[in-house]
Structure 1
Amino acid sequence: MMSLSNERLIHDPLEWDALVARYGLDCYYEYAYFELAQEPEAVPEMYIHPSESGVLIYPYLKRKITGTPFQDLTTPYGYGGPVFVGRWSNDQVEDIRRHFLDYCHAERIVSETIRFHPLLENRELGQVWCETTTVLQQTVTVDLTDSVETIESRFSSMTRRNIKKAVREDVTVRVAGPDEYDCFIRLYRLTMDKHQADARYYFTDQYFHQFQDGRLPAELLVAEREGKIIAGCIVLYGQQFAHYHLGASDPAELSARPNHLLFAEMIRRAKVLGKTALHLGGGTTRNADDSLLAYKRSFSHRQTPFTLGTSVLHPLLYRQLSEQHLTHHVPSSQDWFPAYRTPVRQLSPRGEQSL
């Protein structure tokens, strides 16, 4: 590994989380969140560079590219990206970027993918950091700085009616215990089956158990009816923000509108816990009329863009790896980055597709 001057690379969880606490970073920056990653041969790493202007803090996953001596960088599922503490000019960001690229070249890092945090406003300087930035979709945020009554008055009339219907149907919401995650996992997979979700959304049991053991500041909220859990959601809590992470519901119970009451109670709880905003995320597609996005907008009209930053650090290697990958597989997406990690359908020896 090359030597760094003012820069440091951090791998120790205690030192990592001490920096997260010191600078008040969100829960997506905690070491335990990086441990959630279902990425083979991925190592959490934090790049930190102090300067006269402040400090750059940039955690990411460094992944080996299978079958090669090369690596790439990505932020985990969720949101993150470099945080520029203090006042920074574009020139200062570009200068530190050159230092970081020296390190990347020495480590044989081919590409970099950043899912920018919609609430941190790190996208503007991130555009200087990255080769390319693209707004993928709008996401929905509930402002929690007003009173509960004011927040709920912004719900759509249909949503308010559905919340009342859930109450009439004797649906209740509570915080679940650690032993109730198995029920949520079952409902979650039923939900993914119903929506024919991509394989990457079928998280392992181990993924859910990492919430269960309390390493992350998270809660499982569940909606019950007649003593049966019929819906639930995992909520993450940072120092300032709350985040709707994953949700699930019993398809046979949707007529009781448990999700509407669940979301309303999730908003109330985040407010009680002193958070300034609850981020609900976006839709399942990039379409402006996406049904999940429309559902979330029925709780708040405040939209914040989700931006993807990408950089090809070794163009020749990137092209070779991508061509090799796509020669032997049928891509399930035409605009995946990096292209050599595009989800695929396997080709049989006769060129037939198989799952």
Structure 2
Amino acid sequence: MNLVYRKIKNKEDLSEYLSKVNLFKEIYPFYKIIVGNIDELNDNQLGYFTLEENGNILILMPFRLREIEHKVEGETYYDVISPYGYSGPLYNTNTSRAYLLDFWTQVDLWYKEHNVVCEFIRFSLNNNYQFYSGKLVPTLSNVKGYIMADEKAQWDAFKPKVRNNYRKAVSNGLRFEITQDSTNLEAVECFHNVYIETMTRIGAASEYFYSLEYFKNIVQRNKDNFALAFVYKDDIAISVELILILRTTMYSYLGGTLADYFNFRPNDFLKIEVMNWARKVGHEYYVLGGGRKDDDNLYHYKKTFFPNDGDVLFYTGRKVVNTKVYKALDKMVNGSKEAGTPKSKISSKTYFPLYRQP
């Protein structure tokens, strides 16, 4: 078995990557959106591993290889982070344990040979963290709800506040629309406008100000696996959500709401109408994600829609490949007397890597 590393530097590289993703039987849509507009890539960071045997691709994993600003003893080092969203290795469900073990063994060897200090991975929700060679950290509880066939039973399961907000939205004359038409670029532009206004309002980091081209590419690459949901007040789109779909599971990916219309309760209205649509087309689950941290207000808001459903744990992987350099970088940046975080103490509450903490 052979581990191959490929960079994604241009449209041709990206097309080759997407063709390899499409070889797998079941594909999380997140693997198709690791980058939006390829022309915006100027740092040479994006690439992917494939584990291959006799010309067959068994495992694929995208990641960003980031150069570390600080040198150690004159040497340049790097760290690895997965693209935003659910990620980690992609493989078919019948892939043997031996292949997975060999994949991580070869990845770790590649890291050592290419001055990679550490690795941070956001795993998918399908247990693709199996046999991970680093520290597996339960990071966030993700709200995942079952779409009941009985609409009244679903309604009764909502928290009273959700039902009241929905009634208020109806009385305010809100209107719901949803599209899966990848050629409807006006809908994409409408979504983008509300999304960017929301990111501006909340003071989001620059990395979350995705371009219009990013969203156009998302719908083009996931023609059968996306939906754009809108709530209108009169003819104004006031709340939006981009949904990614894997078989019968919907993932709430990105969205936004205009602040001037909060009192009309468009968010609750949108979520319930998405469920009503999902019920009609045969989708079974709705993943709303988690909070910014466990048990915060955002998590509790999402939980009001599915208070009786069990959460799904979102795991991250954290691995120190070169302990000596990791400690040196931490001491250089943070001035720690006892620099470095022992593997046993790495947790979701510990920023990783320490030398990149804000």
TM-score (structure 1 length as normaliser): 0.77
Give me the whole-angstrom Cα distance separating, in 2, the residues matched to 1:143 and 1:235: 16
Matched with 2:161 is 158
Matched with 1:215 is 220
Which residue identity does 2:17 align to in structure 1? Answer: W
What is the CA distance between 1:334 and its match in structure 2? 8.0
Verify the 8 A CA contact 2:120 2:352 in the aligned structure 1: yes
Which residue identity does 2:31 align to in structure 1? Answer: Y
* 1:110 partner SS: strand
Instruction: Provide structure 2 residue ranges, at least 5 long, that are not aligned to the other structure.
Output: 8-12, 336-347
- Alpha carbons of 1:219 and 1:325: their partners in 2 closer, same or farther (altered >3 Å)? farther
Give me the whole-angstrom Cα distance separating, in 2, the residues matched to 1:316 and 1:88: 34
What is the CA distance between 1:190 and its match in structure 2? 4.9
- 2:267 is the counterpart of 1:262: no
- Alpha carbons of 1:239 and 1:291: their partners in 2 closer, same or farther (altered >3 Å)? same
Give me the whole-angstrom Cα distance separating, in 1, the residues matched to 2:242 and 2:15: 25
Deviations 1:191-212 (A, max 9, x none): 4465555x25x62352x43113
Give me the whole-angstrom Cα distance separating, in 2, the residues matched to 1:305 and 1:185: 30
Matched with 1:336 is 351
Give me the whole-angstrom Cα distance separating, in 2, the residues matched to 1:147 and 1:76: 38
Question: How do 1:49-198 and structure 2 match up within 5 A?
Answer: 49=52, 55-66=58-69, 69-85=76-92, 86=94, 88-89=96-97, 93-118=100-125, 120-123=126-129, 125=130, 128-144=131-147, 146=149, 148=151, 150-175=153-178, 177-179=184-186, 181=188, 184-185=191-192, 187-192=194-199, 195=202, 197=204
Give me the whole-angstrom Cα distance separating, in 2, the residues matched to 1:17 and 1:144: 31
Verify the 8 A CA contact 2:60 2:89 in the aligned structure 1: yes
Give me the whole-angstrom Cα distance separating, in 2, the residues matched to 1:231 and 1:268: 17
Give me the whole-angstrom Cα distance separating, in 2, the residues matched to 1:44 and 1:73: 10
Match of 1:42 among 40, 45, 50: 45
Give me the whole-angstrom Cα distance separating, in 1, the residues matched to 2:332 and 2:199: 31
Deviations 1:215-254 (A, max 9, x none): 3424432211122222112222334532111221122211
Match of 1:231 among 225, 232, 239: 239
Matched with 1:330 is none
Give me the whole-angstrom Cα distance separating, in 2, the residues matched to 1:245 and 1:18: 23
Matched with 2:26 is 24
Deviations 1:40-75 (A, max 9, x none): 442131322459xx9333222223334653222211
Which residue identity does 1:340 align to in structure 2? Answer: Y
What is the CA distance between 1:283 and its match in structure 2? 1.1
- Alpha carbons of 1:47 and 1:153: their partners in 2 closer, same or farther (altered >3 Å)? farther
What is the CA distance between 1:260 and its match in structure 2? 0.8
Percent same amino acid at aligned positions? 21
Give me the whole-angstrom Cα distance separating, in 2, the residues matched to 1:170 and 1:181: 24
Which residue identity does 1:299 align to in structure 2? Answer: F
- Alpha carbons of 1:255 and 1:181: their partners in 2 closer, same or farther (altered >3 Å)? same
Verify the 8 A CA contact 2:51 2:58 in the aligned structure 1: yes
- Count of aligned pairs: 322
Instruction: Provide structure 1 residue ranges, at least 5 long, that are not aligned to the other structure.
Output: 328-332, 344-355
What is the CA distance between 1:157 and its match in structure 2? 2.9
TM-score (structure 2 length as normaliser): 0.77
Matched with 1:7 is 3
* 2:2 partner SS: coil
- Alpha carbons of 1:149 and 1:63: their partners in 2 closer, same or farther (altered >3 Å)? farther
- Alpha carbons of 1:216 and 1:241: their partners in 2 closer, same or farther (altered >3 Å)? farther
